[in-house]
Copies of this chain bind each other. A is one copy, B any other.
Amino acid sequence: MRGNILRAAAGVFRDRGFADTGMREIAAAADLSTANLYYYFKSKADILYFCQEHSVGRMLETAGRLQRRRLTPAQRLRGVISAHLVCMLDELDGAAAHTEVDALPALLRKRIIAKRDRYERAVRRIVAEGIRRGDFRRTDPTLATRAILGALNWTTRWYRPGGKLEPKAVAEAFSDYLVGGLRT
């Protein structure tokens, strides 16, 4: 049931935005009464928190899995980019994940940011490793990582599901561009 609500909420957050989404809309999307939402979640922010928790968790997991496999930094980076995009564009959950962090109260925000930072570090590690091995050009790994994540996270602003553009196609093009740009 909680998962059901989270999915519905993520969907509404995704196309209405967090601020403009009312509890009544979430309830309608989840086919529940408004009051009943409070049986499963403590507050509106709480719902957002678990959306983010879930999707960042999955991205982090994917990054870890790629790290464990025997791959080149370029291959790992492509994998991360692809997974990140699919998570944001295909499944609804990921959309609000990185987008609406400020809406959370201090404590929850702190937790999500900590987890999101772990993810960012994981990506940066791949970039740094690529530079160390000489596969990638020498640049500031932090800035390169942030450029990459910015390009990825911004996709929710313009991507419209159901259009002619498949998430896979975006992933392909972005990987070519963003990984290619690092190569020596």
Contact = CB atoms under 8 A, between A and B. Distances in A.
A144 B177 contact: yes
Interface of A: 17, 19-20, 102-103, 137, 139-140, 143-144, 146-155, 157-158, 170, 173-174, 176-178, 180-182
A140 B173 contact: yes
Nearest to A153: B154
24 contacts: A19-B19, A20-B102, A20-B103, A137-B180, A139-B173, A139-B176, A139-B177, A140-B173, A143-B173, A143-B174, A146-B154, A146-B155, A146-B158, A147-B174, A150-B150, A150-B151, A150-B153, A150-B154, A150-B157, A151-B151, A154-B154, A180-B181, A181-B181, A181-B182
Contacts of A158: 146
A148 B144 CA distance: 12
Quickly give the copy total for this chain. 2
Nearest to A170: B143
A19 B148 CA distance: 27
